């Protein structure tokens, strides 16, 4: 009935014939042909990651400031271990037998087939001796690993450091493998995607004596590592190092910016540390030590300091917004009887000569004058409530880059603090506060907080008569950076028109010519500046100095902030002035060398107690 | 009509072979996954842990399939086929792309590949159609409709970019053959594959054309007294020549990695990066297993990621490396035994539907084994299809379990009813 029933044999025959062919083929490759066994057994293929050269970093003058140093890393594949002379091994690598045991246990716990890192940061010399004995230690092998090196030993906070990737990042970023290095802070972190390059991999044949036999199939499956892109930054490393020297043994910071571009020339946070401490084998110990230090050397005061009140340096900004609002005329004069008094609120003033106009009020830094200025801005009849008035006042501050992160290209920036109406409504209840309540804002005290970078940037806006560029470090990357550089070529216009700046700039010039900032005079330059003394409830006042020069077409803005140092003219002004002189003249005039010497030698952290017979 | 326990007529030999293959698969996945860190066997973050889950789901499903009334499969054969075809179409709109193939539905943490289920659905539909009244392989209408039932899922799957899975449907030609399709189709199919391969290997197509013309001329000379045969032979020759150009046209349309894989196997492309590497490593792994293998968990090549996709498409490597020639022969033996048993089961049916379905099951399993094992030892191109019952993967183990247990259910009722 089923005439095709016999076809089952044909079909079974087809099945069987394939299986027989396969069986013969398997017999041949598994039993007859020894070459596969040879390939798999005698030659172990080792899959090695090839790490790229990390991009180098140059300063604005082309000086190399970050380079790579070769070290070696030892790996272990537990599966391939044989009995070895442990004593010799430990001696060659300068490690304890206990460490040897611990590392092996750790490696075995991770995997017996996949290589584990055994020891890192072995110098080229030490590895050379070890390599001669490598044949005695099957299962171990070394590979070159580049670590960062900082030939100038400065700008630690800006450059940042690299380190092994953490567990959290590892999960977020699939490019990295456990044990890879990545930029963790500073520019190393921001420009990580450009600096890191691209890892490659190679297959290496290794014989049973642990000797490398060259690449597998002539490198057919290898991929080359692609070097990272080099970076040129806006720092002037020589000036940076000089500023660091002036700031040694002091707490505070220096920021210098080229106002016409927003390029940051110097950023010092003191106390600092040698960036080379955070590379190499001692990195862990050094990091722990730095972190425990009560002076917080790892902390970048220039951007993360957060809430320093700006003090008198803020008065010029007060004047500018009052001029723009029309509540102040350049020739207005207000009375000063050693201070400003309104009800229960009192703001004291120091002794100074008579005020002729706004410029001389800035020059003498009269507190009473600016209290009136502030009161007249806030109490303008056009505002229905103090809320509206303060909101307007805040909007001026925002336009000068205060109260928000500026967007500098290193991580950790603080937004500072500009008090909003809501803020006071919370403290005093709505409607229960007025201009007199918040009068200390007039002289840059009270609830106002600026980062030193914001202070410097505000000064750039004044120096430029009304605009600034976001302060930044990036000058050039050897890659398509349009997206990165674009952010820094946008002009930010402030809410004060250019015509109102002349009076204020003149006041700043007079401050240096005949006011509190005389120490900052530089022959041949019209220098502008403003001292600031910031009340510090926890100890001696902080001193601040903002300065720019020349008055017309300014080349540099410098801000110096020295904690617990007293008046602004004592330390902040001389240091700022020396940095400026060094930048403009490339050298310090002979008659000012005494000043340089005094600044370098002063130790404000561990002040020397002068004995009576040592009076200067 | 006899009425016996649901399980008494079950073909327990097939169930045993199934269980052995699944176990070998799970042990091999565990070994391939093993990187020196021992984890729990049921750790759901590992492949072997998930496989336990999938096998459990499969067993529950198998029991359900056996409990279901046998009329279900005949009644709903077309319906099931229709539902799966709709899923294959829907995937264009709501599917997820994995490795260049848009053929997955992602549900929670698991991905499902409807093309896997198209296999048993098509087997049911083909069996249903050919066992219905009035069909006969002698008629062109029967041939065309049967062909259409097979080609529809194939076309949809090719269109998803998963040419490997689509090729599986070619195996249905064996079902048609068993039902009376002319032997010439098999011979022609063989010739067809030969011409396909030749047209890929020979770069200068003119040589092939000249060869075919000379061959045809010789044949016509010998059969010159039989005009019809001469015309037929000439016709075939002309079609072959057209086909040669068609093949090279489609080959040029393939994705670069598919081209590479084919060219490496054909020996045209010596060790091109990637494709050749997989093959090399796979052969080294199996070849280095020797007679009795390196021992369980002692493989070196299938660890350390030398062999790609070592738990899925290349699971046979782990068997070959750790258990050697003995291991590979046992696995091939188990497959051969299962296939022979399925043919035996199919032939003892009174129901034509069950018999043809059985042949469908055998053909699909055979095709998968042939292609998968063939690619690991370098005899066929690296086409990404799994080894039945052994490879890791939920869709794969589920679909092969369904495929087999529908047959075992139908078989267990063979004495009860005549369909
Ligand atoms: Zn005064």
Long-range CB contacts (within 8 A, 24+) of A153-156 = A153/A274, A153/A275, A153/A276, A154/A237, A154/A240, A154/A241, A154/A244, A154/A272, A154/A275, A155/A65, A155/A235, A155/A237, A155/A240, A155/A241, A155/A244, A155/A267, A155/A275, A156/A186, A156/A272, A156/A273, A156/A274, A156/A275, A156/A278
- B268: which 2 tokens? 């045209």
CA distance B352 to chain A (A): 10
* Highest mean pLDDT pick, A126-135, B100-109, B119-128, B226-235: B119-128
Tell me whether A15 touches chain B (CB under 8 Å).
yes
- B104: which 2 tokens? 């997955």
Q: Is the domain of B242 the same as that of B103?
A: no
Task: Provide the domain limits for residue B187.
Answer: 182-253
Q: Is the domain of B229 the same as that of B354?
A: no
Per residue in B64-96, pLDDT (tens digit) is: 988 888 788 888 999 999 999 998 888 888 776
Task: Flag if A8 and B335 touch (Cβ within 8 Å).
Answer: no
Give the number of domains in chain B: 2
Task: Flag if B328 and A5 touch (Cβ within 8 Å).
Answer: no
Q: Virtual CA dihedral for B47, B53, B57, B62, nearest 10 degrees?
A: 70
Confidence of residue B37 (pLDDT cuts 50, 70, 90): low
Closest by CA to A323, choosing from A462, A511, A449, A452, is A462
Task: Flag if B304 and A113 touch (Cβ within 8 Å).
Answer: yes
Tell me whether B305 touches chain A (CB under 8 Å).
yes
The reply to whether B137 falls in a domain is yes
Enter the DSSP assignment of A214.
E
Cβ B329 vs Cβ B345: under 8 Å: no
Cβ A29 vs Cβ B287: under 8 Å: yes
CA distance B337 to chain A (A): 10
Tell me whether A177 touches chain B (CB under 8 Å).
no
pLDDT in the model for residue A616: 35
Q: Is the domain of B149 the same as that of B277?
A: yes
The average pLDDT across B144-168 equals: 86
Cβ A209 vs Cβ A138: under 8 Å: yes
Q: How far apart are CA A265 and CA A547, in angstroms?
A: 14
Tell me whether A8 touches chain B (CB under 8 Å).
yes
Tell the burial category of B324 from Cβ atoms under 10 Å away from its Cβ (0-12, 13-18, 19+): buried
A201: phi then psi, degrees, rounded to nearest 5? -145, 155
The reply to whether B261 falls in a domain is no
Residue A155 to residues A604, B150, B182, Cα–Cα distance (Å): 21, 72, 85
Mean pLDDT is lowest, of A363-372, B26-35, B170-179, for: B26-35
Query: Minimal Cα distance from B320: which residue of A?
Result: A30
- Residue A341, beta-bridge partner list: A346
What are the residue ranges in chain A where pLDDT is below 70?
1, 38-45, 111-114, 206-211, 217, 305-307, 342-345, 480-482, 567-569, 607-616
The reply to whether B8 falls in a domain is no
The average pLDDT across B213-236 equals: 81
Cβ A501 vs Cβ A536: under 8 Å: no
- Which site among B31, B33, B36, B334 would you substitute to test the A interface, given the most A Cβ atoms closer than 10 Å to its Cβ? B36
CA angle A141, A144, A149 (to 5 degrees): 145
Residue A443 to residues A335, A340, A393, B269, Cα–Cα distance (Å): 16, 12, 14, 80
% chain B with pLDDT above 90 = 29
Q: Is the domain of B353 the same as that of B396?
A: yes
The alpha carbon dihedral of B391, B393, B397, B400 has a sign of negative
pLDDT in the model for residue B418: 52
Q: Parallel, antiparallel, or unpaired for β A231-233 and A491-493?
A: unpaired
Residue recorded with tokens 């059969």: B223
CA distance B171 to chain A (A): 11
CATH number of A45-233: 3.90.1310.10
Tell me whether A20 touches chain B (CB under 8 Å).
no
Task: Flag if B329 and A23 touch (Cβ within 8 Å).
Answer: yes
Q: Is the domain of B72 the same as that of B147?
A: yes
Cβ B343 vs Cβ A11: under 8 Å: yes
Q: Is the domain of B299 the same as that of B357?
A: yes
Per residue in A103-141, pLDDT (tens digit) is: 888 887 776 666 788 888 888 888 888 888 888 888 888
Q: Is the domain of B141 the same as that of B280?
A: yes
- A145: which 2 tokens? 């690993």
Q: Is the domain of B409 the same as that of B316?
A: yes
Tell me whether B340 touches chain A (CB under 8 Å).
yes
Residue B18 has pLDDT above 90, yes or no: yes
pLDDT in the model for residue B339: 96
pLDDT in the model for residue A210: 60
Ligand 1 centroid distance, CA of A365 (Å)? 7
Confidence of residue B264 (pLDDT cuts 50, 70, 90): low
DSSP readout, A520-583? Answer: G--TTS--EEEEEEE--TTSSPEEEEEEEE-SSS--EEEEEEETT--STTTTHHHHHHHHHHHH
Domain A237-270+303-475+493-601 has CATH 3.40.710.10: yes
How many helices (H) and strands (E) are present in chain B, helices listed first? Answer: 15, 3
The average pLDDT across B275-299 equals: 77
Q: Is the domain of B211 the same as that of B329?
A: no
A401: phi then psi, degrees, rounded to nearest 5? 85, 15
Chain B residue numbers touching A37 (CB-CB < 8 A):
287-288, 290
Cβ A156 vs Cβ A187: under 8 Å: no
Q: How far apart are CA A476 and CA A281, in angstroms?
A: 32
Angle of helix B394-412 relative to helix B114-131, nearest 10 degrees, comes to 20
Q: Is the domain of B207 the same as that of B296?
A: no
The reply to whether B321 falls in a domain is yes
Q: Which residues 179-218 of B are in CB contact (within 8 Å) with A?
A: 179-180, 186
Three-class SS of residue A70?
strand
Tell the burial category of B338 from Cβ atoms under 10 Å away from its Cβ (0-12, 13-18, 19+): buried
Residue recorded with tokens 């194939």: B154
Cβ A354 vs Cβ A340: under 8 Å: no
Task: Flag if A22 and B379 touch (Cβ within 8 Å).
Answer: yes
- B106: which 2 tokens? 């992602």
- Residue A72, beta-bridge partner list: A122, A144
Task: Flag if A4 and B178 touch (Cβ within 8 Å).
Answer: yes
Distance from the Cα of residue B197 to its chain's centroid = 20
Q: How far apart are CA B243 and CA B188, in angstroms?
A: 13
- Side-chain half-sphere CA neighbours of A569 within 13 A: 11
Q: Note the ipTM here.
A: 0.85
Enter the DSSP assignment of A54.
P
Q: Is the domain of B194 the same as that of B134?
A: no
């Amino acid at each position: 009935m089923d005439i095709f029933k016999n076809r089952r044999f044909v079909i079974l025959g087809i099945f069987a014939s394939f299986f027989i062919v396969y069986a013969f083929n398997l017999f041949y490759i598994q039993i007859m042909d020894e070459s596969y066994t040879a390939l798999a057994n005698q030659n172990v293929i080792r899959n090695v990651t090839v790490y790229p050269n990390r991009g180098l970093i140059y300063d604005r003058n082309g000086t190399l400031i970050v380079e790579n140093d070769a070290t070696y890393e030892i790996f272990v594949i537990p599966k391939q271990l044989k009995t070895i002379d442990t004593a010799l091994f430990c001696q060659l690598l300068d490690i304890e037998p206990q460490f040897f045991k611990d590392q092996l246990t750790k490696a075995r716990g991770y995997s017996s087939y996949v290589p584990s890192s055994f020891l890192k940061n072995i110098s080229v010399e030490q590895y050379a001796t070890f390599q001669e004995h490598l044949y005695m230690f099957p299962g171990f092998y070394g590979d070159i690993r580049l670590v960062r090196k900082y030939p100038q030993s400065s700008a630690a906070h800006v450059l940042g450091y690299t380190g092994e990737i953490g567990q959290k990042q590892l999960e977020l970023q699939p490019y990295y493998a456990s044990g890879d290095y990545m930029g963790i802070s500073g520019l190393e972190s921001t420009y990580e995607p450009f600096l890191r390059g691209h890892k490659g991999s190679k297959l290496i044949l290794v014989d049973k004596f642990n000797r490398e036999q060259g690449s597998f199939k002539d490198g057919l499956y290898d991929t080359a590592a692609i070097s990272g892109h080099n970076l040129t930054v806006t720092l002037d490393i020589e000036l940076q190092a000089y500023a660091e020297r002036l700031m040694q043994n002091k707490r505070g910071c220096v920021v210098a910016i080229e106002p016409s571009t927003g390029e940051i020339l110097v950023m010092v946070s003191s106390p600092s540390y040698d960036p080379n401490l955070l590379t190499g084998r001692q990195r862990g110990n050094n990091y722990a030590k730095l972190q425990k230090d009560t002076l917080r050397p790892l902390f970048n005061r220039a951007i993360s300091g957060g809430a320093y009140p700006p003090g008198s340096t803020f008065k010029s900004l007060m004047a500018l917004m009052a001029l723009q609002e029309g509540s102040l005329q350049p020739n207005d004069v207000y009375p000063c009887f050693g201070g400003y008094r309104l009800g229960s609120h009192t703001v004291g003033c120091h002794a100074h000569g008579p005020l002729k106009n706004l410029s001389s009020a800035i020059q003498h830094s009269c507190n009473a004058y600016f209290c009136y200025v502030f009161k007249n801005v806030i109490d303008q009849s056009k505002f229905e409530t103090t809320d509206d008035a303060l909101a307007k006042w805040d909007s001026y501050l925002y336009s000068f880059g205060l109260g928000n992160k500026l967007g500098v290209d290193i991580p950790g920036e603080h937004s500072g603090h500009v008090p909003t109406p809501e803020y006071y409504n919370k403290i005093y209840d709505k409607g229960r506060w007025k201009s007199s309540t918040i009068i200390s804002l007039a002289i840059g005290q009270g609830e106002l907080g600026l980062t030193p970078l914001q202070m410097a940037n505000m000064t750039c806006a004044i120096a430029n008569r009304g605009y600034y560029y976001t302060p930044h470090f990036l000058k050039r990357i050897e890659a398509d950076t349009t997206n990165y550089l674009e952010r820094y070529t946008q002009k930010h216009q402030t809410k004060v028109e250019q015509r109102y700046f002349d009076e204020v700039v003149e006041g700043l010039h007079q401050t240096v010519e005949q006011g509190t900032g005389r120490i900052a005079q530089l022959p041949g330059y019209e220098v502008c500046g403003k001292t600031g003394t910031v009340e510090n409830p926890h100890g001696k006042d902080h001193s601040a100095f903002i300065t720019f020069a020349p008055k017309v077409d300014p080349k540099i803005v410098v801000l110096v902030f020295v904690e617990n140092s007293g008046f602004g003219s004592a330390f902040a002004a001389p240091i700022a002035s020396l940095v400026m002189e060094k930048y403009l003249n490339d050298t310090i005039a002979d008659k000012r060398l005494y000043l340089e010497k005094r600044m370098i030698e002063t130790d404000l952290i561990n002040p020397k107690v002068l004995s009576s017979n040592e009076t200067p | 009509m006899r009425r016996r326990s649901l399980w008494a007529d079950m073909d327990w030999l097939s169930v045993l072979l199934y269980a052995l293959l699944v176990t070998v698969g799970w042990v091999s996945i565990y070994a391939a996954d093993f990187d020196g860190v021992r984890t729990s066997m049921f750790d759901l973050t590992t492949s072997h842990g998930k496989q336990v889950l999938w096998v459990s789901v499969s067993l529950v499903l198998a029991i359900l399939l056996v409990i279901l009334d046998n009329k279900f499969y005949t009644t709903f054969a077309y319906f099931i086929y229709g539902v799966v075809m709709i899923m294959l179409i829907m995937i264009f709109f709501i599917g997820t792309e994995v490795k260049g193939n848009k053929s997955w539905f992602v549900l929670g943490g698991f991905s499902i590949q409807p093309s896997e289920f198209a296999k048993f659905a098509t087997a049911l539909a083909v069996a249903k159609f050919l066992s219905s009244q009035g069909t006969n392989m002698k008629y062109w209408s029967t041939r065309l409709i049967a062909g259409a039932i097979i080609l529809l899922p194939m076309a949809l799957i090719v269109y998803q970019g998963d040419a490997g899975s689509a090729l599986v449907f070619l195996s249905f030609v064996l079902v048609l053959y068993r039902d009376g399709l002319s032997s010439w189709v098999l011979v022609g199919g063989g010739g067809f594959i030969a011409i396909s391969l030749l047209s890929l290997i020979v770069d200068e197509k003119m040589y092939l054309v000249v060869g075919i013309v000379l061959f045809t001329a010789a044949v016509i000379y010998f059969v010159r007294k039989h005009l019809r045969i001469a015309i037929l032979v000439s016709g075939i020759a002309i079609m072959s020549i057209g086909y040669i150009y068609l093949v090279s046209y489609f080959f040029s349309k393939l994705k670069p990695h598919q081209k590479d894989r084919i060219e490496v196997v054909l020996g045209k492309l010596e060790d091109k990066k990637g494709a050749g590497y997989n093959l090399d490593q796979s052969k080294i792994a199996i070849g280095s297993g020797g007679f009795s293998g390196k021992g369980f968990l002692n493989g070196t090549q299938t660890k350390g990621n030398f062999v790609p996709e070592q738990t899925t498409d290349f699971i046979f490597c782990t068997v070959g490396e750790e258990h050697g020639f003995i291991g590979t022969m046992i696995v091939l033996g188990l497959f051969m035994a299962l296939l022979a048993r399925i043919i035996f089961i199919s032939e003892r049916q009174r129901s034509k539907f069950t018999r043809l379905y059985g042949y469908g099951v055998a053909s699909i399993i055979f095709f998968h084994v042939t292609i998968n094992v063939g690619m690991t030892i370098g005899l066929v191109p690296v086409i990404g299809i799994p080894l039945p019952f052994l490879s890791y993967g939920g869709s794969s183990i589920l679909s092969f379990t369904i495929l087999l247990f529908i047959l075992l259910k139908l078989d267990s009722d063979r004495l009860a009813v005549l369909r």
